[in-house]
Chains A and B, each alone.
Chain A
Amino acid sequence: GQNIDQPTEMTATEGAIVQINCTYQTSGFNGLFWYQQHAGEAPTFLSYNVLDGLEEKGRFSSFLSRSKGYSYLLLKELQMKDSASYLCAVMDSNYQLIWGAGTKLIIKP
């Protein structure tokens, strides 16, 4: 079966760095997405990785290793507004998105 695993919840301190991991097992691979979702709102796009390596975009970076079925989202200089759920999603060989359950990130002052 297809499976996306990511931690349920993480806590970090304002100004610090946090890494949210995502492992996946899917039938085929056409890219991995990270989305941010604030409570009561729809998800917003953060990043897309289809090749191995690190993609940096401001305070957020996303890493992919296809051989290991592994990705992480790195958030630097954490701000209170970064408190949200972070969803990992993989596009399989049929171009369907398989979603992880999301990681709730709690930022403390």
Chain B
Amino acid sequence: GAVVSQHPSWVICKSGTSVKIECRSLDFQATTMFWYRQFPKQSLMLMATSNEGSKATYEQGVEKDKFLINHASLTLSTLTVTSAHPEDSSFYICSARDQTSGFDTGELFFGEGSRLTVL
């Protein structure tokens, strides 16, 4: 199956700093990638849809100036948490659909996730 790589897996930062998380599709092209956040014992919450070459689409309640998304190529999307605060501590997961062949099965391939702890 298709592989999505996410980096870093773990990050600890001080309050007020910015953190960048990368999401790469290793063996397929992904015009669209999705960024999720998951708090302990809760389900995935879609934060935004990242579109290659255009602006991301943010879900209601997600601050676009705080969670900066860049999708500069067909295989890379980045999420930057700016001026992070303790309440931003969470598990961030990216996913993508294999759209290389033009036939999209709808199956989501997930990255390994990035656990952010803001002190």
Residues of A whose CB lies within 8 Å of any CB of B are 30-31, 33, 40-45, 48, 87, 91, 95-97, 99-102, 104
Q: Check A42–B112 contact: CB distance below 8 A.
A: yes
Smallest beta-carbon distance B38→chain A, Å: 9
Residues of B whose CB lies within 8 Å of any CB of A are 1, 6, 34, 41-46, 91, 93, 105-113, 115
21 contacts between A and B (CB under 8 A): A33-B108, A40-B113, A41-B112, A41-B113, A42-B111, A42-B112, A45-B108, A45-B109, A48-B105, A48-B106, A48-B107, A87-B43, A97-B34, A97-B46, A97-B108, A99-B44, A99-B45, A99-B46, A101-B42, A101-B43, A104-B41
Chain A residues in 8 Å Cβ range of B91: 40
CA distance A33 to B46 in the complex (A): 16
Closest A-chain residue to B34, C-beta based? A97
Smallest beta-carbon distance A5→chain B, Å: 12
